Amino acid sequence: MKVGIINVTGYAGAELARILSQHSEVEVSCVTGRSAAGQKLGEVFPHLSSLDLTIAPELDGSLDLVFSALPHKASAEAVIPALERGLKVVDISADFRLKRAAEYEEWYGVQHQHPAYLEEAVYGLTELHRAEVQAARLVANPGCFPTSAILALAPVVQHGIIEPDIVIDSKSGVSGAGRGLSLSTHFSEVNENVMAYSVDGHRHLPEITQELAALTQERLSVTFLTHLIPMTRGILSSCYARLRSGGDWDGPQGVGRIRELYQAYYAGHPFVKIAPKPPQTKETLGNNMCLLYPTVDLRTGRLIVISCLDNLVKGAAGQAVQNMNLMCGFPETAALEALAVYP
Amino acid sequence: MKVGIINVTGYAGAELARILSQHSEVEVSCVTGRSAAGQKLGEVFPHLSSLDLTIAPELDGSLDLVFSALPHKASAEAVIPALERGLKVVDISADFRLKRAAEYEEWYGVQHQHPAYLEEAVYGLTELHRAEVQAARLVANPGCFPTSAILALAPVVQHGIIEPDIVIDSKSGVSGAGRGLSLSTHFSEVNENVMAYSVDGHRHLPEITQELAALTQERLSVTFLTHLIPMTRGILSSCYARLRSGGDWDGPQGVGRIRELYQAYYAGHPFVKIAPKPPQTKETLGNNMCLLYPTVDLRTGRLIVISCLDNLVKGAAGQAVQNMNLMCGFPETAALEALAVYP
Amino acid sequence: MKVGIINVTGYAGAELARILSQHSEVEVSCVTGRSAAGQKLGEVFPHLSSLDLTIAPELDGSLDLVFSALPHKASAEAVIPALERGLKVVDISADFRLKRAAEYEEWYGVQHQHPAYLEEAVYGLTELHRAEVQAARLVANPGCFPTSAILALAPVVQHGIIEPDIVIDSKSGVSGAGRGLSLSTHFSEVNENVMAYSVDGHRHLPEITQELAALTQERLSVTFLTHLIPMTRGILSSCYARLRSGGDWDGPQGVGRIRELYQAYYAGHPFVKIAPKPPQTKETLGNNMCLLYPTVDLRTGRLIVISCLDNLVKGAAGQAVQNMNLMCGFPETAALEALAVYP
Amino acid sequence: MKVGIINVTGYAGAELARILSQHSEVEVSCVTGRSAAGQKLGEVFPHLSSLDLTIAPELDGSLDLVFSALPHKASAEAVIPALERGLKVVDISADFRLKRAAEYEEWYGVQHQHPAYLEEAVYGLTELHRAEVQAARLVANPGCFPTSAILALAPVVQHGIIEPDIVIDSKSGVSGAGRGLSLSTHFSEVNENVMAYSVDGHRHLPEITQELAALTQERLSVTFLTHLIPMTRGILSSCYARLRSGGDWDGPQGVGRIRELYQAYYAGHPFVKIAPKPPQTKETLGNNMCLLYPTVDLRTGRLIVISCLDNLVKGAAGQAVQNMNLMCGFPETAALEALAVYP
């Protein structure tokens, strides 16, 4: 099968090329990137030089599926024509994640040019929407933070175990901010430092609330705060919510029951694992796994769920390939078998 | 004035020596350290070689005040004899922080050998107990996390503005774990990694609840989770609690009123600053400042307070010197004027 | 084919398990580790939990080949009995790298217990000894620094292009020091720091001189200095030597000729690449490539060769698998196809 | 005394402000910065907010001395008018470091606009030119690499102990590249990475050769290669040169004699220290010291000198203040007494 990668020159695009190089059924036959058009891919990314691809200004050739790693707005403009030509599309941008165009416009500050596709687009958090992904033409690949947070909270929101009042405190490596330059990703500013950012509201919040709200009748109140820490890859989200009283979740045995609930919820999903001890982001570096650790603060009856993943893999390119695998009938784990690189 | 440092060979002890070297009224005339006794201080810590001190096995000479940077239990054993000989004491260990011996024994797993001094000891969070510190013989210097969390929350707990249900999510550099070796502080394990630790309960929790509970009649429910991030110095604590409804704190103007409350609460305190934008730990590196940033998640009515400090300075040795200054009638800022080293 | 890994609990052992998990012809059927015997491999290394192996105290079962990741001395003791039972052996320790037992004893401070095997053992720098490796029973896998330095210098030493007076300045990540604890690998000591170490002579020097000396009649004078830098994986060696005067290597065209010489020298070797611009260690993270960049300081007529690799892959476990592939008739690149993880 | 800082908004400028805040004889009464003019200094650099300065577009007020932290070319344009108005000047840029305008033009690619001042300007490597600095109106503050390399090599070049064939291999933190954005200082590119850069010739080379050449009659051949490592502050230079044969420098006693020579050479200089063991950059963080460790590779008779400093302090702002102290008759160490921040 032939696929293209639009905007290969960012980190998500390059990661797609890296992962797809291990896919026995897929040939990356076209990669695009505006500023670097005409260059060999290996000139921009030496670690990809063995792929022997030249960066094109536009998609060309006969393709079956296209990944877009463009920023929002530009991505919709690029993928809808491809979709209308009959290609399948996995869009890594935010353009088709939110179901309501008004919400998109509120958070992204631009009018949506293709709202007609919002309903058709499948939110590609694979574990929650596997069947829809299998049937999809257009998959909106989730954001990195939402992937970590929704997977952490879906079981307890759906089962009504927690009060609908949630705090998500996320810590992210810097690659999530992309390859574009800014003072806040300048080495001397980030190194030996930690900061909260987007304190007034991070664009990934509406994805989180949209997807969790779909699992419950209750009105959810979600506070989501992101922090930048001095590492390249990885997200760890610590999620907090009170257990509903009167449930069967109190005490040490309650923790065991909650763990069983998570085990059951993600049974059959190869890329979510309930960790036996608190996980570390390093256990996922370069790998498509999301590690979850649900536990209870017995002093307060509060559920804590810790979630770890590699923001460029399960949080972006890896999940995009996982979705492609389902859309195209390949084994879900194809090209995603490599273990994490540790230490 | 002559002071001694017991156990200078850890990070807090070395930091005391560094800071005190700038104090015009104080001479460090004795430093101890068991394993390194007989060595020059500069052999263990080259950056301190200009101090020209030899590490002694025991305190000696005529001293006015002693700092202990020993671990808990050993510290009480070392400082009580000194106290009883008439020296003033600033104890950086946990031995005299908790007022109830039973709580100490529950969290530290050893019986307290000197419970009679628990009442006299002053919890040296300077901003909350300045007058008592000025009069104290024995100051229990707070833990690094409690310093960041209590300063962040004291104003709103005392004024009854929040519901008594608090989440504190702290991120710490590795030096807080000390100079002792462990796999969890081994470079290759910590670098490019983030993990939660002490998930079942961190020893600094009872300090936090003790001090916050003293400010309110309500019963507090506090969840406190610590994370290790790949940097050496710094703690950032993100604190979450619902604003009590019906108050005057809603909307953008509410944020302004809360900021004014913090400004007023810490007026006249040179080492707490209400930051105009979200602070970063790097802004405090090597410096005794605690930066606070209170704000409100307007979507949920939740208060967020972000707190930054250098765990070895305001979280340990700097605050110890600040306390010494008050105990001995020096200006509170003596030896603590140096600005943060940035970047 | 069934293989065993002796001492899987260090970084090189764990990396062997990671890489071999991708090998379609090899089953890791036994892993040993003294302190962790009885534990599941995934308890010690969560990233390896999918391998579902239990750590044994000793090799058992029917094996075809064994890797040893033990420290020197212990390694020889473990592998010789296995060799004598008919297994092939790839020894990652230093025990069989040096041809002269006296030199081993000088540098390692212990008497060699199996000097009779020193002649038979093949120094497994694959690119220099491919044919011997193919025929070997016992391969001594090279040290990480020697791999980077010898590959950088072999072409010019063998062709007599440089004066026999060489400086090798190497910079290494911390994982090269292993998983054992020491103050010099303690995070707070290494982070935001660089230091030279083993200044009086590093144990990898005799390997370098042994292998380079075998390529020339001249007596070589080699200075080799190692530096520890704050990263986990990677070695960059900068090698300096004067070009012999009167040669054809002067001027910009000389640089081109030297590059051609390197290209020719390593033609047909899949894991050495002559980089078109100065390489970075990050381009090799998790990957078995050694990147070489030969150039000339035109102001002084000095050759500079920069060499990059991942110390745990081409510098240890990856090269060990490469050697196993040759010893067993598999494609040289089997299980080593994954691209570097970047950024 | 009133001083101004031109271009306070870079790292060197901010570091000047930080250091001068501790100077009892100096008031920083004007700071300039084009893009940030009108902002409070604390808005750009929160760690400097206590200084309560507003960034001006141009120097104003009555000043005695001005520091320029502008880039080359712009710096000369700014400081010469100030000098001609009677101010003393310490120029941190490269504009007055090289004595020959032609060499400046070759390396910096612009014509020198004020060559008439090149002779008068004193190269402010304080330890080599103290008397001239004391009498100077215009001091050209050295580059960070030259400071580390020249201090390391001056004693042996001047005494003719080494052959005039030198390799300098320098490792630098990223702050040396300044606060301007570039892909090579983007966190995700630099972290967990090491690279050589300016392989075809670094602009600091001509300073090194100019200053070393002035100490000897011999023609020197110097290769200088710089490396970027993942830390913010610090330079470690490893310098290599053959000891001249027939000297008295062979063997272990020779090392002692060389150390004595260094001790004598830098006697009376408070900011150069001959370290008793190999130094680490961390021992100088935030501090004005240059640590030197001369030793001999006894196997080859090669001198190795390791040199450590903080590139923003002794390599820039600290040395500038040291020079100001001498120019103005203050104690050489004024405002520079703070010990390094370690760990």
Tell me: do B49 and B96 sit in the same domain: yes
Q: Is B129 part of a structural domain of the chain?
A: no
Please tell me the distance from the alpha carbon of residue B175 to that of residue B28, in angstroms, as a whole number.
23
Which of D143, D190, D197 shows the shortest CA–CA distance to D169? D197
Cβ contact C169–D165 (<8 Å) = no
Work out whether strand D65-68 and strand D88-91 pair parallel, antiparallel, or are unpaired. parallel
Instruction: Name the stretches of chain B with pLDDT < 70.
Output: none
Please tell me the distance from the alpha carbon of residue C148 to that of residue C168, in angstroms, as a whole number.
10
The confidence score (pLDDT) of residue B283 equals 98
The confidence score (pLDDT) of residue C172 equals 98
Count CA within 13 A, CB hemisphere, residue B175.
31
* Marked catalytic residue, from A144, A239, A290, A308: A144
Three-state DSSP string of C145-205: HHHHHHHHHHHHHHCCCEEEEEEEEEEECHHHHCCCCCHHHEHHHHCCCCEEECCCCCCCH
**Nearest-CA distance C124 → chain B (Å):** 26
What does DSSP assign to residue C45? -
Those of residues 146-165 in C touching chain A at CB distance below 8 A are none
Cβ contact D230–A191 (<8 Å) = yes
Which of A37, A67, A41 shows the shortest CA–CA distance to A52? A41
The confidence score (pLDDT) of residue B246 equals 77
Tell me: do B157 and B256 sit in the same domain: yes
Please tell me the distance from the alpha carbon of residue C145 to that of residue D166, in angstroms, as a whole number.
23
Cβ contact C185–B188 (<8 Å) = yes
Cβ distance D203 to D177 under 8 Å? no
Q: Which of these three, C87, C120, C153, is where a domain ends?
A: C120
**Nearest-CA distance B289 → chain C (Å):** 21
Cβ contact C174–B188 (<8 Å) = yes
Of A11, A192, A342, the CB nearest to C47: A342
Tell me: do C116 and C249 sit in the same domain: no
Annotated catalytic residue C30: no
Count CA within 13 A, CB hemisphere, residue C303.
35
Tell me: do B218 and B115 sit in the same domain: no
Which DSSP string do the residues of C229-254 spell out, in sequence order? -S-SS-EEEEEEEEEPTTSS--HHHH
For chains A and C, count residue pairs whose Cβ atoms are closer than 8 Å. 68
Which of A58, A60, A53, A62 shows the shortest CA–CA distance to A16? A53
What are the beta bridge partners of residue C297?
C302
Tell me: do B97 and B226 sit in the same domain: no
Give me the helices (H) in chain D, please: 11-20, 41-44, 74-84, 101-108, 126-135, 144-158, 187-190, 205-213, 251-265, 318-328
- Distances A174 to A211, B342, D99, D180 between C-alpha atoms, Å: 25, 19, 43, 18
Of A194, A195, A278, the CB nearest to B196: A278
Please tell me the distance from the alpha carbon of residue A220 to that of residue D76, in angstroms, as a whole number.
61
For chains C and D, count residue pairs whose Cβ atoms are closer than 8 Å. 147
Tell me: do D113 and D154 sit in the same domain: no
Which DSSP string do the residues of B254-266 spell out, in sequence order? HHHHHHHHHHHHT
Q: Is C130 part of a structural domain of the chain?
A: no
Confidence band for C250, pLDDT divided at 50, 70 and 90: confident
Tell me: do D116 and D151 sit in the same domain: no
Assess A21–C contact: CB distance below 8 Å, yes or no. Answer: yes
Cβ distance D290 to D313 under 8 Å? no
Tell me: do A183 and A235 sit in the same domain: yes
Assess D230–A contact: CB distance below 8 Å, yes or no. Answer: yes
Structure tokens at D321: 């203040």
Cβ distance B306 to B278 under 8 Å? yes
Please tell me the distance from the alpha carbon of residue C240 to that of residue C297, in angstroms, as a whole number.
10
Q: Provide the domain limits for residue D270.
A: 145-311
Assess A251–B contact: CB distance below 8 Å, yes or no. Answer: no
| Cβ burial, residue B178 (10 Å; 0-12/13-18/19+) | middle
The confidence score (pLDDT) of residue D245 equals 85
The confidence score (pLDDT) of residue A34 equals 85
In C, minimum Cα distance to D191 occurs at: C231
The confidence score (pLDDT) of residue C72 equals 97
Assess D184–C contact: CB distance below 8 Å, yes or no. Answer: no
Q: Say what angle helices C251-265 and C144-158 make with each other, to 10 degrees.
A: 120
The confidence score (pLDDT) of residue A252 equals 77
Structure tokens at C39: 């534990």
Chain B neighbors of D48, CB-CB under 8 A = 339
Which of A99, A108, A70, A69 shows the shortest CA–CA distance to A203? A108
**Nearest-CA distance B283 → chain A (Å):** 9
Reduced to 3 states (helix: H, G, I; strand: E, B; else coil), residue D6 is: strand
What does DSSP assign to residue B186? B
Which of D182, D207, D206 shows the shortest CA–CA distance to D195? D182
The residue written with tokens 């579902």 in the block is: C52
Report ipTM for this prediction: 0.97
User: Subunits that touch chain B (at least 3 Cβ pairs < 8 angstroms)?
Assistant: A, C, D
The confidence score (pLDDT) of residue B177 equals 95
Work out whether strand D27-32 and strand D55-56 pair parallel, antiparallel, or are unpaired. parallel
Chain D neighbors of B340, CB-CB under 8 A = 18, 47
Q: Is A167 part of a structural domain of the chain?
A: yes
Tell me: do A267 and A173 sit in the same domain: yes
Cβ contact A47–C191 (<8 Å) = no
- Distances A341 to A283, B141, D130 between C-alpha atoms, Å: 8, 41, 53
Q: Is A162 part of a structural domain of the chain?
A: yes
> CA dihedral defined by B206, B212, B218, B223, rounded to 10 degrees?
-50
The confidence score (pLDDT) of residue C34 equals 85
B81: domain CATH number is 3.40.50.720
Tell me: do B20 and B109 sit in the same domain: yes
Structure tokens at B339: 């600005």
The confidence score (pLDDT) of residue D247 equals 76
Angular region, C193: left φ>0, alpha ψ -120 to 50, beta rest: beta
Chain D neighbors of A188, CB-CB under 8 A = 11, 173-175, 179, 185, 232
C187-238 residue pLDDT tens: 999 999 999 999 999 999 999 999 999 999 999 999 999 999 999 999 999 9
Which of D173, D168, D294, D162 shows the shortest CA–CA distance to D218? D162
Confidence band for C110, pLDDT divided at 50, 70 and 90: very high
User: Subunits that touch chain D (at least 3 Cβ pairs < 8 angstroms)?
Assistant: A, B, C
Work out whether strand C235-243 and strand C302-309 pair parallel, antiparallel, or are unpaired. antiparallel
Instruction: Name the stretches of chain D with pLDDT < 70.
Output: none
What does DSSP assign to residue C219? P
The confidence score (pLDDT) of residue C246 equals 77
Cβ distance B206 to B148 under 8 Å? no
Structure tokens at B48: 């301190």
Of B194, B221, B282, the CB nearest to A300: B221
Q: What predicted TM-score, i.e. pTM, was given to this entire model?
A: 0.98
Tell me: do C10 and C105 sit in the same domain: yes
The alpha carbon of residue B8 and the mean position of all alpha carbons in its chain are separated, in whole angstroms, by: 17
Cβ contact D230–A186 (<8 Å) = no
In C, minimum Cα distance to A338 occurs at: C22
What does DSSP assign to residue D315? I
Cβ contact B192–C11 (<8 Å) = no
Cβ contact C191–B232 (<8 Å) = yes
Which of B209, B169, B198, B145 shows the shortest CA–CA distance to B302? B169
Q: Is A139 part of a structural domain of the chain?
A: no
Q: Is C271 part of a structural domain of the chain?
A: yes
Per-residue pLDDT of chain A (343 residues; tens, 9 = 90+): 999 999 999 999 999 999 999 999 999 999 999 889 999 999 999 999 999 999 999 998 899 999 999 999 999 999 999 999 999 999 999 999 999 999 999 999 999 999 999 999 999 999 999 999 999 999 999 999 999 999 999 999 999 999 999 999 999 999 999 999 999 999 999 999 999 999 999 999 999 999 999 999 999 999 999 999 999 999 999 999 999 987 778 777 899 999 999 999 999 999 999 999 999 999 999 999 999 999 999 999 999 999 999 999 999 999 999 999 999 999 999 999 999 999 9
D29 membership: H or E segment, kind and range: strand D27-32
Q: Is B132 part of a structural domain of the chain?
A: no
Total structural domains in chain A?
2
Those of residues 30-69 in C touching chain A at CB distance below 8 A are 43, 45-50
Chain B neighbors of D275, CB-CB under 8 A = 46
> CA dihedral defined by D76, D81, D85, D88, rounded to 10 degrees?
-10
CA dihedral sign, ordered C46, C51, C56, C59: negative
D259: domain CATH number is 3.30.360.10
| CA end-to-end span of chain D | 35
C224 membership: H or E segment, kind and range: strand C221-228
Tell me: do B169 and B295 sit in the same domain: yes
- Distances D184 to A180, A185, A196 between C-alpha atoms, Å: 12, 12, 25
Three-state DSSP string of chain A: CEEEEECCCCHHHHHHHHHHCCCCCCEEEEEECCCCCCCEHHHHCHHHHHHCCEEECCCCCCCCEEEECCCCCHHHHHHHHHHHCCCEEEECCCCCCCCCHHHHHHHHCCCCCCHHHCCCCEECCHHHHHHHHHHCCEEECCCHHHHHHHHHHHHHHHCCCEEEEEEEEEEECHHHHCCCCCHHHEHHHHCCCCEEECCCCCCCHHHHHHHHHCCCCCCCEEEEEEEECCCCCCEEEEEEEEECCCCCCCHHHHHHHHHHHHHHHCCCCCCEEECCCCCEHHHHCCCCCEEEEEEEECCCCEEEEEEEECCCHHHHHHHHHHHHHHHHCCCCCCCCCCCCCCC
Please tell me the distance from the alpha carbon of residue D222 to that of residue A246, in angstroms, as a whole number.
78
- Distances C66 to A281, B89, C92, C329 between C-alpha atoms, Å: 31, 60, 11, 16
* Marked catalytic residue, from D144, D239, D290, D308: D144
Q: Is A136 part of a structural domain of the chain?
A: no
Please tell me the distance from the alpha carbon of residue C292 to that of residue C297, in angstroms, as a whole number.
16
Assess D231–B contact: CB distance below 8 Å, yes or no. Answer: no
For chains B and C, count residue pairs whose Cβ atoms are closer than 8 Å. 54
Q: Say what angle helices D126-135 and D144-158 make with each other, to 10 degrees.
A: 100
| Furthest CA-CA distance within chain B | 65
Cis peptide before D343 (omega within 30 of 0): yes
Of A194, A227, A279, the CB nearest to B231: A194
**Nearest-CA distance C81 → chain D (Å):** 37
